[in-house]
Structure 1
Amino acid sequence: MGAFAALEALPVSGVPERWPALLVPGLTGSKEDFIAVLQTLAQSGRQVVAIDMRGQFETAGPDDPAAYTCAALGNDVDVLAQVIGKGGPIHLVGHSFGGLVTREAVIDGRTRFASYTLMSSGPAAIVGPRERAGRVMMSELPEVGLEHMWHSRLEPEALSAGVADEIVAFLRKRLFANSITGMYRMTEEVLSAPDRCDELTEVEVPTLVLYGEHDDGWPPHLQSEMARRLGAECVVVPGAAHSPAVEAPETTAAALIRFWNAAEARLH
């Protein structure tokens, strides 16, 4: 397994009174994508942990492509959830590609999850503009590498979107810290993931589908339909796009806390 980089938030008292939560980021993301919601979530009485998956940012990863399949990464989630939850129930959140990874841990049934949230994720392979961006990345990585990708496309996109200079500097640092093998294999996974909704419906865990009304990843109508198929609650975050925890942190945190509290009330 090795060591995993993580951010942890605890209630001000330092004593969690409710079940903990594990937050898993998307393909090009990291634990920092949850910074804006961590302390609010913790103030609901919980230990809240956000991680970098293997090969992401500050978590090292091997050069073996097999280490970055959804199944392999899902196994990591199982182990981490059991450690953080000390064998007890734990809330699980997967953002974007992290949703495809975390559902592996939910379906395999090895860990007792108190609840499961798919945040800006989908039932199968990603579609639309982010699918096209993924295919471009797969063609560029072996040929021109990260440096060319950053200077020719990613940095100009961030600057044109008005991203602050210090955030642009962080995005560059994060990109170049990623395992190239991991990025390539995970991109293959997000572009080819099968639909596993039927398997998820067989798992008895309270499920929430949460996404921004302007999501440019999986289309909102596809996520809404996934929620219907799963018999899950569905929350649409006004004004948010593909990263509700960044773009609308208070609304997102409030939705998660309400859902977690209700799940615990049902399970107690």
Structure 2
Amino acid sequence: MSKPPSLTLPDCARAYRLRTGRGDFAVHEARPDTEPRGTALLVPGFTGSKEDFIGLLEPLAAAGFRTIAVDGRGQHESGGPRDELAYDQAELAEDVLAQTAALGNGPVHLLGHSLGGLITRAATLRAPARFASLTLMSSGPAAISESQQARTKLLIDALTVLDMEGVWRAIQEHDREDAADATTPPAVREFLHRRFVSNVPEQLIVTGRQLIDEPDRVDQLAAATPALPKHVLSGAVDYAWPVPLMDDMAVRLDAQRTVIDGTEHSPNAERPAATAAALADFWSQHDGHPGTGRTQN
């Protein structure tokens, strides 16, 4: 799971609940001091949340972008029903479209991290005209790697027989090295626990199955969005989708490709300044404004 580098919102950001036609969603929003040059919506991954993007908020606002990070349905502070049907990928894609509509100000730069990439891909296929661009961050063409499928199946099995606190304890026992990582600040460690147990278990079960069963829809996306600017961004190493798969996906999508050196599955949390620079550079190429510089790797 992603570990945010800090839990403190910058002065340019605030937390609130975004009211949409499909319910309210917990968000963090950062605004530039001047008129925004664009609006971006950031969708987190499996077991993630809006906090995974905290490190991006200030530099993206400084680059001129109004930036909104969201907790999806059944994630962390957004809440959701105890009904598996509510978390079908089509339902989550409709949530993204509703969030986009609630933001106003025309087409939105859409970003999906990991599982969020699969959800934002589905949303883009439904209504490509709603978006100014699509960035798939650490998200691949189809199902996750076999090793990660095995881990996800274990989690799904645990969720069917244990409560959330019991599942958390089982994860800590299974991943002892990560649980004992002394570099994780106590406040972040406590947050990771609180975030996990606040997830709706049915959401994790259904989205976990999506990670295991997702078909390759890259060619479908390419055919449906020939004019939409696309960006594939990842770390130099990825355990969920091997980096060569993302390289190939970028070619198939005719997408810009960025690799953030020194990072793995969560460049947004591991090197937020470099990641934000790459995002701002890409968005600036497609908003009618002059660019902010070269992509940083």
In structure 2, which of residues 120, 124, 144 is the aligned counterpart of residue 126 of structure 1?
Answer: 144
- Counting matched residue pairs gives 264
- Unaligned stretches of 5+ in structure 2? 1-21, 290-297
Q: Partner of 1:141 in structure 2?
A: 159
Scaled by the length of structure 1, the TM-score of the pair is 0.94
Q: Partner of 2:133 in structure 1?
A: 115
Q: Deviation string for 1:179-208 (max 9, x for gaps)?
A: 011111111111111111111102121000
CA contact (8 A) 2:44 2:114 kept: yes
CA contact (8 A) 2:94 2:123 kept: yes
In structure 2, which of residues 109, 118, 126 is the aligned counterpart of residue 100 of structure 1?
Answer: 118
Q: Deviation string for 1:218-263 (max 9, x for gaps)?
A: 1101111111111111101101010000001111000000000001
Distance 2:249 2:205 in 1: 27
In structure 2, which of residues 191, 194, 214 is the aligned counterpart of residue 170 of structure 1?
Answer: 191
Distance 1:233 1:206 in 2: 8
CA contact (8 A) 1:105 1:111 kept: no
Distance 1:206 1:52 in 2: 25
CA contact (8 A) 2:128 2:228 kept: no
2:82 is the alignment partner of 1:63 = yes
In structure 1, which of residues 66, 75, 91 is the aligned counterpart of residue 94 of structure 2?
Answer: 75
Q: Deviation string for 1:16-69 (max 9, x for gaps)?
A: 331100000001000000000111111111210000000000001112211112
Which amino acid in 2 is paired with 1:187?
A: G
Q: Which moved more, 1:22-31 or 1:186-195?
A: 186-195
Distance 1:110 1:223 in 2: 21
Q: Which moved more, 1:208-217 or 1:146-155?
A: 146-155
CA contact (8 A) 1:78 1:110 kept: no
In structure 2, which of residues 261, 266, 279 is the aligned counterpart of residue 243 of structure 1?
Answer: 266
Distance 2:265 2:169 in 1: 23
Higher helix proportion: 1
In structure 2, which of residues 219, 231, 250 is the aligned counterpart of residue 227 of structure 1?
Answer: 250
Higher strand proportion: 2
Q: Percent identity of the aligned residues?
A: 41
Give matches, 1:191-202, under 5 Å.
Answer: 191-202=212-223
* RMSD of aligned residue pairs (Cα, Å): 1.6
Distance 1:66 1:152 in 2: 26
In structure 2, which of residues 232, 245, 248 is the aligned counterpart of residue 209 of structure 1?
Answer: 232
Superposition deviation, residue 264 in structure 1: 1.5
SS of alignment partner, residue 98 of structure 2:
helix
Give matches, 1:17-32, under 5 Å.
Answer: 17-32=36-51
Distance 1:92 1:218 in 2: 20
CA contact (8 A) 1:122 1:226 kept: yes
Scaled by the length of structure 2, the TM-score of the pair is 0.85
CA contact (8 A) 1:128 1:218 kept: no
